[in-house]
Structure formats: structure tokens, C-alpha cells
């Protein structure tokens, strides 16, 4: 079968479209014929050797897929051949078939296609974990979402809207702001043309209650200046490149909380919360309140181009690969 392989640490342009042995499901695994693959910013980092994990070379990047069950290994009983599913994995998703532990596989609702399934798991789990579990977002609170047209950002906008929060979305183009508006944002801020810190203070009357920051760097610094009393500043990632720091007195003066969100650790530790969160998310899908937004699809062999679009901030929502 075909897969995209990283044979050394480097740029995604160095990924190789290669023949690899097909996977065999181990006990407890589900073998999936992949129909769609979700691309994410961490895929770039893991290929470069800059992510928290470093798989043994050679490896395929990719943490989320959707497809059809081909076979189940011994002791895997939740699914049967022919079932439509989506799955989350540590890496290995850029391939025509994958074997995934059954506990990381979910039934794909009839309301979602394969592209939707490959775009759903990581970003919605991350945003639900952040907003509900870590920040305790409440209806009526002000939620500021940075990078609001990105994969995790749009998921956060949709979830915040579904929970009854008042959502402020930041993005760098009119097109991306319109995407955020369609996802449920109440206030749109172009960070390239506006003083977004002043605008957030003005709109909220003092500051945002919850701030969702997947960017880091200067965005984090500015967020600490427009957060409300007892506000929660969620550290999602550092897509901007610089890992920021904050003086402890700034945390003390307004009783704010700086809250880390490492969703993958819940999955790695086998937390039962992950399945509970997925059930809550899929219930909102069934009610028509959540729906992934797919920017473009690419053939698997063009994975480098897909990742380049994410790195250059050309895309919005999710980018999908088709084997």
C-alpha cells in the first residue's frame, strides 16, 4: 500500500510517497481502509522533529483518519467489517490503511461524511477539553478566540456558540472573519488592521472571561492585557513560533488563571473523559450545532502542498488528504 513517509527530520517537502507493507491488526486493534485524512499543524512539527513526540524513523505523520473497517483483531468487539468510523492515533495516519487500538476508534454518525470525520476528532476534542473541562465556560461569558478561522479556532467558535457564550473572533483577513461569523462568532476583529486589545476591552467592558490562544508569542502577551477579573487564559499551542512568558504579579493582580491544555495526554493516559467528551460532541453534531469546515482536499501524494498551505496560513478550517 501507499503511505507518506518521513525518513529523516526535515521539512514536509522531504516526505516520500512510498510503498509500505500493509498493517496487520494486533489484539484489540481495528484495521481501517482510509478514505480521508485530517491535516494538522502538529503534523508539520512532528516531521521537523520539533514536536513533543519523536517517532522512530521512518514513520508516517497524521493523527486522524476516517474510513471503513476492513477487519478486527482478536478481542476487538465494538466494530465489524463495513462499519464507517473515524479514529485518533499518535501518528501513522498518512496511509491507505491503518491499524488503530479499538479504544481510539469511533462510529461515524450518518450526519458526517468521511471528510467531516477526518476533520472532527482532534480539534473538537481539544476545544471541548479546553472550554468545558479546563475553563468551565459558562453561558453569557465573553469568549475570545484567536486564530478563529483555523482548525482548533473554528471548533472553539462553534462550541462556544453552542454553549451560549458571546464569542469574539480574531483573524487576519475579511474572508477568514466571515468564516468565523458563519461558525457563530458575535464580534469580528481583524488583528492586522485593528488594535485588538483595545477592541476587546471596549466590546466586553473590561476584558474577556475566557481566552483561547493557539498562537502564543505576542498574542499571548496581548491577551494578558485584555482578560477579565477571574478570567481564564487557555494555552493551546504556539503556532506563532515564540513560547511566551508571563510575570506572576500579572496573574495575581486580576485573579486570572493561565491554564494549559494538552488534550493528547488524556488520550495517552486512557482517561475515560475522552469518550465522555466525544459522546457530548457527537450529541451536538446530531442536533446540528457542530459541523467541521473543510477548506480543500488534496491527494495523499500532495501532502507537502497541503501542509504548506497550513504553515503559510492560507487555509481555514481543516485540510483533508484523500488516499
CA–centroid distance for 290 within its chain:
14
The whole-number pLDDT of residue 184 equals 97
Residue with cell 481555514: 316
Q: Are residues 315 and 215 in the same domain?
A: no
93: helix, strand or coil:
coil
Task: Give the domain range for residue 139.
Answer: 122-264
The whole-number pLDDT of residue 52 equals 82
Encode pLDDT of 171-228 as tens digits: 999 999 999 999 999 999 999 999 999 999 999 999 999 999 999 999 999 999 999 9
Q: CA–CA separation, 26 vs 71, rounded Å?
A: 11
pLDDT band at 70 (very low <50, low <70, confident <90, very high): very high
273 in any annotated domain: no
DSSP 279-319: HHHHHHHHTTS----EEEEEEGGGHHHHHHHHHTT---SEE
pLDDT band at 98 (very low <50, low <70, confident <90, very high): very high
Q: CA–CA separation, 256 vs 218, rounded Å?
A: 18
Mean of the per-residue pLDDT values of the chain: 96
Q: What is the pTM of this model?
A: 0.95
CATH number of domain containing 228 = 3.40.50.720
Q: Are residues 126 and 259 in the same domain?
A: yes
**Looking at 244, 264, 284, which one is the last position of a domain?**
264
Encode pLDDT of 137-183 as tens digits: 999 999 999 999 999 999 999 999 999 999 999 999 999 999 999 99
CATH number of domain containing 90 = 3.90.180.10
Question: What mean pLDDT is predicted for residues 259-285?
Answer: 96
The answer on pLDDT for 300 being more than 90 is yes
277 in any annotated domain: no
145 close to 167: Cβ distance less than 8 angstroms: yes
Residue with cell 501507499: 2
206 in any annotated domain: yes
The whole-number pLDDT of residue 201 equals 98
| CA dist list (Å): 278 to 60, 88, 139, 169, 287 | 25, 12, 21, 24, 14
281 in any annotated domain: no
23 in any annotated domain: yes
The answer on pLDDT for 241 being more than 90 is no
Total domains, the chain? 2
Encode pLDDT of 248-271 as tens digits: 999 999 999 999 999 999 999 999
**Looking at 264, 280, 313, which one is the last position of a domain?**
264
The answer on pLDDT for 13 being more than 90 is yes
The whole-number pLDDT of residue 239 equals 86
The answer on pLDDT for 96 being more than 90 is yes
Cα torsion at 159, 162, 163, 169 (round to 10°)?
60
| Rg of the Cα atoms in the chain | 19
The whole-number pLDDT of residue 110 equals 94
Encode pLDDT of 115-139 as tens digits: 999 999 999 999 999 999 999 999 9
Amino acid at each position: 500500500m501507499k503511505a507518506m513517509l518521513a525518513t529523516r527530520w526535515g521539512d514536509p517537502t522531504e516526505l516520500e510517497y512510498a510503498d509500505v507493507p500493509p498493517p496487520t491488526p494486533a489484539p484489540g486493534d481495528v484495521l481501517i481502509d482510509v478514505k480521508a485524512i485530517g491535516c494538522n499543524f502538529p503534523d508539520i512539527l512532528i516531521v521537523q522533529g520539533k514536536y513533543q513526540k519523536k517517532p522512530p524513523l521512518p514513520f508516517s505523520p497524521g493523527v486522524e483518519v476516517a474510513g471503513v473497517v476492513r477487519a478486527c483483531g482478536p478481542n476487538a468487539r465494538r466494530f465489524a467489517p463495513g462499519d464507517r468510523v473515524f479514529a485518533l492515533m499518535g501518528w501513522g495516519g498518512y496511509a491507505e490503511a491503518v491499524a488503530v487500538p479499538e479504544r481510539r476508534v469511533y462510529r461515524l454518525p450518518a450526519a458526517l461524511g468521511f471528510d467531516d470525520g477526518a476533520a472532527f476528532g482532534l480539534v473538537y476534542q481539544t476545544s471541548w477539553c479546553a472550554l468545558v473541562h479546563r475553563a468551565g465556560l459558562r453561558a453569557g461569558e465573553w469568549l475570545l478566540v484567536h486564530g478563529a478561522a483555523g482548525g482548533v479556532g473554528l471548533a472553539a467558535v462553534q462550541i462556544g456558540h453552542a454553549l451560549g457564550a458571546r464569542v469574539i473572533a480574531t483573524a487576519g483577513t475579511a474572508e477568514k472573519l466571515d468564516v468565523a461569523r458563519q461558525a457563530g462568532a458575535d464580534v469580528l476583529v481583524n488583528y492586522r488592521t485593528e488594535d485588538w486589545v483595545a477592541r476587546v476591552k471596549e466590546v466586553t467592558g473590561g476584558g474577556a472571561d475566557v481566552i483561547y490562544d493557539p498562537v502564543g508569542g505576542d498574542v499571548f502577551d496581548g491577551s494578558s492585557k485584555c482578560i477579565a477579573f477571574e478570567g481564564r487564559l487557555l494555552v493551546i499551542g504556539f503556532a506563532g513560533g515564540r513560547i511566551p512568558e508571563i510575570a506572576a504579579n500579572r496573574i495575581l493582580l486580576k485573579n486570572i488563571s493561565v491554564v494549559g491544555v494538552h488534550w493528547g495526554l488524556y488520550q495517552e493516559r486512557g482517561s475515560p473523559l475522552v469518550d465522555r467528551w466525544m459522546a457530548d460532541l457527537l450529541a451536538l453534531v446530531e442536533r446540528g450545532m457542530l459541523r467541521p469546515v473543510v477548506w480543500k482536499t488534496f491527494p495523499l501524494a500532495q501532502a507537502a502542498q497541503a501542509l504548506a498551505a497550513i504553515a503559510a496560513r492560507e487555509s481555514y478550517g481543516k485540510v483533508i488528504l484523500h488516499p
